[in-house]
Structure 1
Amino acid sequence: MLGPVALALFLLLPGMVTFAQTPLPGFELERLELNPGTEGSLVVGTGELLTAGQFRISAIAHYSHRPLMLLVDNVTYEVVGGRTTTHVAAAYALTNWLELGVQLPLVAAQWGQDLSSEGLLRPASFGISTPLAGVRLGLLTQESQGLLDLAVGGDVGFPVGNPEGFGRDAGLRYLPRVMVGRRFGFIRAALDVGVLLRPRVAGISPLGTGGADQLDNEVRIGAAVMTTGRRLRWEFNARGSLSLARNQPAAAELLPGVRYLVNPSLEVFALAGVGLGTAPGTPLFRFLAGGSFGDVTPRRGPGESSVRCDLGLALSPEECPDGDFDGDGVRNLEDKCPTIPGDSARAGCSRTDTDKDGIEDTLDACPTEPGDAARQGCPVSDQDKDGVEDSLDSCPAEAGPADNRGCPVKDKDKDGIENDQDECPDEPGPLERRGCPEEDSDKDGVPNRIDTCANERGVATNMGCPEHEEPLVEITHKELKLSGKVVFEASRARLQSRSFVLLDWVAKVMREHPEIPVVVVGAHTDDRGLSEENRRLSQQRAEEVRRYLIGKGVAAERLVPKGYGQDRPEYSNATSFGRENNRRVDFKIIRNSDENPESPQR
C-alpha cells in the first residue's frame, strides 16, 4: 500500500491534460520471505539449522490482499488489489553448521483496477518473481554450548522475474542477516535481523515527485514465538521493516500459524495475518498454506519425548521417556523393565523365578538354572564328578585329582606331554602351546581366547555360550568388550544396581579365563567440570568396580584401577551423544609387563 507517503498522481499537472499510457517501473513487490528449512518458524530464522544430510522441500500457496495502492487526487486506487502466488523452497544441510537454501516464487494471478484513464498501464497478471539462493552458517547451539542458537547468513535475489508484474528489481538484491533463538521448555523464541540491499527506485510512478515515492534499502526484523515437541504446533510471527530512504514509511505484519506432522516425512501448515503500514508490498491481510516433505520431524528437545512417539512407530523406551510401553503404570523413564509389566515397588519389573531357586530373575546370574545365592543363582558345575568345579578343572570331562587341576596323570593324547602338564590332554599339541592345538576348555569348537563361556558348551554365533544365554562380555586380544554400560549415580562413585548383571559377567569371564593375567579397570568422564575433579571421580569409580569384582571372586592382583578423567575421549564432547559415550568404564587386558597403563593411549 502506498498511503500518505505514496504518490499523488496528477498533483502538479492541469486536470484537463491527458497522457499516453505508461507502465510503472519494475520492482519486486513481494515482502514474504520463507524460512527454507522451516525449522522452528515458517517465516523467521531461529538460528537452528538442519543436521548434516537432512533436507526439506516446501510447496506453498499464498494470497495477499491489496499489496499495492496509489493515491490520486485523494482517491485510493488498487494497482494490485489481489495477488496469488506459489512458492517452492528447499533446504539441505551439508554439515551440522552449514545449510543451503533456495526459493522460487511464481505469480499465479494478479489483478487490480483499470488505471488506463489515469495514463497507467495495468501490470501483468502472472509471471516469475525473484528467485532467492541463500546460505546459513551456525555459530552456536544451545544443545552444545548451553546458551542459545546463533547463525549468520544471507540471501541473494536474482533479477530474472517479470518486471511488468512487479516480479523483479533492476539488479541483484542482497539480504545479510543474523538469527538467534532459544528454547524455554516447550516454548521457543527467535529473533531475525537483516538489511535488504536493493537497487534504488527514485519514483514508483513516472508522474511522481521523485521524493516521497522512492524505494531504497531497508532494515528487516522478524520475531517469533512457537511451541515444540508435539505433532500439532503453534507459532506467532511478527515481521517489520524500516526504510533507509528519507520520508518512507515503516511496515509490519502479524502472522500466527499452525503446523501438523502427518507422518515422519510430511508436515502441513497454514499462516494468516494482517499488515500494518503503507510501504509497497504490505497487504491488508495475507493467507498461506502448504506442506513440507523430507526430514520434517521436529527434533527432540532436552527432557522431551520424541514427536515420533505420537505416530505409532516402533521406538525404544529411551525415545519416549513419558510413555508406558508395558502399561504397568510406571513411566519408561523410571521403568527398569519397560517392555514387561511389573509393579512400582520393583521399578516396573515383575517378580519371576524361572529356575525356582528362590532368587528373582532380575538378581539371578543364571535365571534358567537353579543355584544358590553364593553364586548369584548359578549351579556348581562338575561334569566329571571329581570334586573339582569345571571353572577350575582343566579336564572337566575326565575325573582327576585336585592337585593335578582335575586331570588324570597320563598322556592320553600321545603328544609327549603328560596330562599333569598338558592343558589339553584329550587333543595332541606342541609343547609351546602347553599341549593344546587351540585352547577350548569346554570342547564346543570355540577357542578359549574368544569363548565368553569357556566352561559351558555353546555355539560360535553366541560367543561360545549356550544359545539360551545372552553373553554380555566379548573377549578380544586387547580388552573385554561390554555389550552394555556400567552406570553410576550422578556425580558419585556408587554403582547403580542395573550394572550388577554386566559386572557379574566380567567377573565370570575373568574367573573362567585364568590366562588373562591383568586387566586395567579404566574409568572415563566427559569434559564437563574441572579436569582434576573428573580424574578424582573416575579413579573412585574404577576402584568401586574393582571392589565389586573382587567380591565376585576375582583375584585382587589381576585388577588395576585407573581413572583417566576426560583425558581419553573416544567421541567428540561437542554433542550429548559423544559425552554420553565418553562416560564409560573399559577393561583393557595387560599381557606383557611393558604394557604400562600409564602410557599414552595408542
Structure 2
Amino acid sequence: MGRRMLAPGGLVLLLLLPGMAAFAQTTPLKLFELERLELNPGAEGSLIVGMGELLQAGQFRTSAVAHYSHRPLMLFREGKATAVVGGRSTMHVSAAYSLTNWLQVEGQLPLVLLQQLGPSAPNPESPKSFVLGTPTVGLRLGLLTQDEQGGVDLAVGGDVGLPVGSMDAYARDAGLRVSPRVMVGRRFGFFRAALDAGLMVRPGGRVTDVNSEILDELGNELRIGAALVTTGRRMRWEFNVRGMVPLSQQPGSVEVLPGVRYLVNPSLEVFALAGVGMGKTPGTPLFRVLAGGSFGDVTPRRGPKESSVRCDMGLSLSPEECPEKDDDGDGVRNLDDKCPLVAGDPARAGCSRTDTDSDGIEDSLDACPTERGDAARQGCPVRDQDNDGVADEDDACVAEAGPAENRGCPAPDRDKDGIHNDDDACPDEPGPPERQGCPEEDTDKDGVPNREDTCVHESGPQSNLGCPEHEVPQVVIKPRQLELRGKVFFEASQARIQQRSFVVLDWVAKVLREHPELPRVVVGAHTDDRGFAEQNRQLSQQRAEVVRRYLIDKGVAAERLDARGYGPDKPVDSNATSIGRENNRRVDFMIIRDGDESSAAPRK
C-alpha cells in the first residue's frame, strides 16, 4: 500500500523535501484534474467500459453514482508515503440520449462531496466539499451491430472535458481535455466481451517548480479498458479492467473493478462496484467503491438468440421474447415448443395430438389445421377454383378449366382429339398424338393401321400383322425398330449372306418400300466377343454394308439406309454360352426419326 506513488501523467509523484510543513508552504500544485473515473453513460453492457452498443433512437438513460476513492493522491520521499488527498467522495451524474440508432449524445458531471486533505497538502485550506469537477460532453457513432448472422458491435466517439471545475480542489485542468476513442464488443452466448481504447489529450507541463530532479509532468496518455459481462438476466455481473499507457514521462496504472447490477423494474436499475488500483498515476486510488442507480430506458436490449431480461420480471411477454421459458408448463422450452401456449407432449415438440380438421394430420404438423388436406400438401386442401384437376398453384388460368398439359388453360381443339389446334396436323380430323392429331391411315381397309400393317396393300387380320392368312410375315413394325421373326445368316468369318436369309431380307425391303413414312433405318450388324474386337468391328461393318446393298438392290432408296458395324460392343445376351453367342450374332434394323441423336451419324 505504502508504495503507491504519483508519477508523470496526471499529477506526478513528488518527493517530499525535508520539512513537510515548509514544502506545503512553498510549493503549491498547479491546476490539474485528479479524478480518473469515467462512466459509460449509455451503460448498455458495462457501467465503465464502452462496448460498441448504443441506445435505440429516442431512448435516454440518466445515472447517479456515489463513489469513494482511498488515497487517490500521495507524495513520497525516501520510501515514505504521505497522503495529499487521503480520501475523496464524489457524486457522478451522467446522461445519454440517442438521436438515431447510430448517433448518441452524452455527458458527465462530477461533484466532489467531501475531500480529506492530508497534512502534506500544499494548501490545507483548499475547499473540501461540494466542489464542481470537470464536466464532459461527447458523441458516440455506431458503425456495426451484431445480428443473428454474427458480427460485432463497433462504435467510435469522443469526449471533451471543460475547464470549469474548482481551481483549488484538484478538480480542473488548465485547458480543454479531449478524448477520442473506439469501442468494440461481441456477445458469446450468455456473456459479452469488449475492448475500449482511447487517447487522452490534456494540458501538459510541470506541476510544481520544486526540483528539476522530480518527475512532475502532466502529459497525454493512451487509456485502455476491457470488460466481461453477463447478459440476459435480471441480475448481471461485470468485470472491468482500466489501464493507462503513458505517452510522456509518467508511470502507468491499472484499476480492476468487478461489480453487480440489478434491474428493479423496466425504468430503474441499481448497481455497485468495488476494486483496487495499482500504479503511481495521480487519481489511481488504493481502492475504490461505487454504488448508484440508473433511470429511463434501462432495460437491456435482447441480443441474438437471447431471452429478454424482462422475462424474469413477471411481465406478460410473448414466447418468442422468452425462448428459455416454458409458458405452457409442458417441460419444453418456448424455443423448442411448436405449440408454446398449449401444453403438449415433449416427444411431439410440445404439441398435443389434436387434429382439428380430422384429416389424419395432427395440428402440430398440419399447415392448415382447420381445413382437411393430404399429407403431400402438409394437411392443406388442393385449391382448384375451376375444378379442372389442376391445382391453383399450378394453374395459369385459375378461373377457366383446361387440361394439365396446357397449365390448366382451355385449349382450342376443333376435332376434340385432345390436341391443341396449334399442335394438331389435322385440326379438323381426330387422331392420336403419335400421328400429331391426324387419323390413322389404313390403305387396304383391313382395320390394321398402316403404322402396324406389314402388308399395307393386302388385307389381312390383326393377328397376322395385316397380311393375308396364307402368308407368314417375317417383319413386325415396332415404334423404334423393325423386329425380325427370322435371322440373317452369313458365311463363317465372311461378309457373304447365306441364301436362307433372303426371305427375311425380302420382307424387310417390302416393308420399307410400302412405308415411306419411316425416314431412315440403321442396318446394324453385331458379333460375339470371340476373336479380336477391332477385327470383329470391321467384319460387322462389312456385313452391315452388304445387307444395306441388298436392300437397295430390292428397291429401297439408298438415302433411307445407314450401315453400322458394332462388333461385340452391344451384346444382348451372355457370351459365356453358345446360345448367348448365337443371339449376339445378329442384324437389327433401328428406325431413326427426326431429332434422334443417332440420326446425326454419317450414312454409309
How does the TM-score come out when normalised to structure 1?
Answer: 0.59
Choose which of 226, 240, 243 in structure 2 pairs with 1:240.
Answer: 243
1:422-452: per-residue Cα shift (whole Å, max 9, x none)? xxxxxxxxxxxxxxxxxxxxxxxxxxxxxxx
Displacement of 1:258 = 1.1
Residue 544 and residue 37 in structure 1: after superposition, are their counterparts in 2 closer, same or farther (change >3 A)? farther
Residue number in structure 2 paired with 1:134: 138
Q: Counterpart amino acid of 1:113?
A: G
**Does residue 219 in structure 1 map to residue 222 in structure 2?**
yes
Quote the offset at 1:300 in angstroms: 1.7
Aligned equivalent of 1:6: 13
CA offset digits 1:223-273 (Å, max 9, x no partner): 111111111211111111122222x21111111111111222221111111
The answer (yes or no) to whether the contact 1:123–1:166 under 8 Å persists in 2 is no
State the alpha-carbon separation in 1 of the partners of residues 392 and 302 from structure 2: 33
Q: 1:324 to 1:549 in 2, by over 3 A?
A: farther
The separation in 2 between residues aligned to 1:221 and 1:198, in whole angstroms, is: 16
**SS of residue matched to 1:319:** coil
Q: Which residue of 2 aligns with 1:332?
A: 334
Aligned counterparts of 1:303 and 1:144: Cα–Cα separation in 2: 7
**Residue 156 of structure 2 is aligned to residue 152 of structure 1:** yes
**Which residue of 2 is the match for residue 114 of structure 1?**
119
Partner SS, residue 83 of structure 2: strand
- Whether 1:281 and 2:283 are equivalent positions in the alignment is yes
Cα distance change of structure 1 residues 207 and 548 upon mapping to structure 2, 3 Å threshold = farther
**TM-superposed deviation, 1:361:** 6.4
Q: Which moved more, 1:335-344 or 1:23-32?
A: 335-344
CA distance in 1, matches of 2:200, 2:303: 33
Partner Cα separation in structure 1 for residue 396 and residue 373 of structure 2: 13
**Deviation of the 1:220 alpha carbon:** 0.7
CA distance in 1, matches of 2:367, 2:44: 48
Instruction: Write out aligned runs for 1:257-272 (5 A).
Output: 257-272=259-274
In the alignment, which residue of structure 1 is the partner of 2:210?
207
Select 1:174's aligned residue among 165, 172, 178: 178
Indicate the structure (1 or 2) with the bigger Cα radius of gyration.
2
What amino acid sits opposite 2:66 in the alignment? A
Q: Which residue of 2 aligns with 1:317?
A: 319
- Find the partner of 1:249 among 235, 248, 251: 251
- Partner of 1:54 in structure 2? 59
Q: Are 2:67 and 1:65 aligned?
A: no
- In the TM superposition, residue 197 of structure 1 has moved relative to its aligned partner by 0.5
Structure 2: distance between partners of 1:300 and 1:114: 52
- One-letter code aligned to 2:175: G
* Residues 432-581 of structure 1 aligned to structure 2 (within 5 Å): 497=378, 511=385, 546=393
CA separation of 1:317 and 1:160: change in aligned 2, threshold 3 A: same
Deviation of residue 322 (structure 1)?
2.1
**Paired residues of 2:148 and 2:305 also in contact (CA < 8 A):** no
Equivalent residue for 1:431? none
Partners of 1:61 and 1:554 lie apart in 2 by: 80
CA contact (8 A) 2:236 2:262 kept: yes
Q: Counterpart of 2:32?
A: 27
Q: SS at the partner of 1:349?
A: coil
Describe the SS at the equivalent of 1:165: coil
3-state DSSP class of the match of 1:44? Answer: coil
Cα separation, 1, equivalents of 2:353 and 2:215:
83
Assess if the C-alpha contact under 8 Å between 1:202 and 1:211 holds in 2: no
- Structure 2 residue identity aligned to 1:219: L
**Residues 104, 130 of structure 1: 8 Å contact kept:** yes
> Partners of 2:319 and 2:395 in 1: how far apart?
29
Identify unmatched segments of 5+ residues in structure 1: 368-372, 378-493, 515-542, 561-602
Preserved contact between residue 21 and residue 120 of structure 1 (Cα < 8 Å): no
Please name the residue that 1:522 is paired with.
none
Distance 2:394 2:113 in 1: 75
Matched with 1:600 is none
Q: Percent identity?
A: 59
C-alpha root-mean-square deviation of aligned residues, in Å?
A: 3.7
Q: Secondary structure at the match of 1:318?
A: coil
Residue 37 of structure 2 aligns with an amino acid whose one-letter code is L
Structure 1 CA distance for aligned equivalents of residues 20 and 303 of structure 2? 66
- Listed one character per residue, the Cα deviations across residues 337-380 of structure 1 (whole Å, up to 9, x for unaligned) are 2212222344323344678898866759685xxxxx9x559xxx
Aligned-partner residue type, residue 137 of structure 1: L
1:493-524 CA-to-partner distances (Å, cap 9, x unmatched) read x9994xx56xx5xx76x84xx7xxxxxxxxxx
Structure 2: stretches of 5+ with no match in the other structure: 410-604
Query: 1:79 — aligned with what?
Result: 84
User: Helix, strand or coil for the counterpart of 2:312?
Assistant: helix
1:546 maps to amino acid: E
Checking the alignment, whether the CA contact within 8 Å between 1:22 and 1:121 is kept in structure 2 is no
Deviations 1:313-355 (A, max 9, x none): 1111111222211112222223232212222344323344678
